[in-house]
Amino acid sequence: MNKQGNVYTIIYIIVLVVVVGTALAFTSISLRSRQQANADADKMRQILASVRLTPASDEIISTYDAVVERSFVVDSQGDEENGDAFGINVAEQSKLPEAERKLPVFECKVADGSLKYVLPVYGAGLWGPIWGYVALDADGSTVYGAYFAHQGETPGLGAEIEKPAFSSQFEGKHLFKNGEFLPVAVVKAGQKPLGDEDYVDGISGGTITSKGVSSMLANCLAPYEAYLSKLSK
């Protein structure tokens, strides 16, 4: 075959694409389990961060197993139902009507023996998705801790939601005020919300991301109202 001809060139390209594609597919399949394990460990790390625990990377799984006593799913009526809480895609659930959502709950026991209930949240920032976990005391109202993360918010601005300086503001805030369910609001520093809800200062220069966190909390925590009411009683 003429190596300078078009036919040879086309065959060569096809063979090269097949070989490279097969190699990449094999590599991807081979690493899939490891990638999933890393993703699971990172999710565990974030859940633990919401209850103020920051274990070393090689202690995340063992710490999670020791702290998270059980995980389960509730519906918008506050009743437990069958489901894998850890495996639920919160991003997809957050887009559904409240009555149709599967709501994960992670029950943790911290060092002093008290129980904390961790609820996942998911929303939109300025440049992409934001998410996090909110840990509540056993009264179903008082925030024990919080953790937030993002995919592509602006460094030094919206990306500051991932810093303790922002998330630590939520500690001690309440979701129920005078018997009414009011998720914590995020407002511009120096301002107050129009309602009676507890609030924290937003990120300076990160107004849209701050509003995104506030909307995320309202959207994702509201479906838990019935369950949290049961805890408070």
Distance CA 232, CA 230 (A): 5
pLDDT reported for residue 125: 95
Identify whether the C-beta of residue 206 lies closer than 8 Å to the C-beta of residue 156: no
Nearest CA to 48 among 121, 109, 130?
A: 109
Instruction: Measure the CA dihedral 152/172/198/182, to 10°.
Output: 90
91-118 average pLDDT score:
96
Nearest CA to 214 among 189, 175, 173, 184?
A: 184
pLDDT reported for residue 218: 96
Residue 1, pLDDT > 70, answer: no
Q: Which two tokens stand for residue 81?
A: 């139902």
CA 39 from chain centre, in angstroms, equals 12
- DSSP for 162-224, written as a single string: GSHHHHGGGTT-BSEETTEE-PPEEE-TT---SSS--EEE--TT-HHHHHHHHHHHHHHHGGG
Which H helix or E strand runs over 150? strand 143-150
The helix/strand/coil state of 79 is coil
Residue 80, pLDDT > 80, answer: yes
Nearest CA to 200 among 154, 153, 226, 163?
A: 163
pLDDT reported for residue 102: 97
Residue range 114-170, pLDDT digits in tens: 999 999 999 999 999 999 999 999 999 999 999 999 999 999 999 999 999 999 999
* CA 8 to each of CA 5, 17, 18, 21, 134: distance values in angstroms, whole numbers, following the listed order: 6, 14, 15, 20, 61
Distance CA 205, CA 207 (A): 6
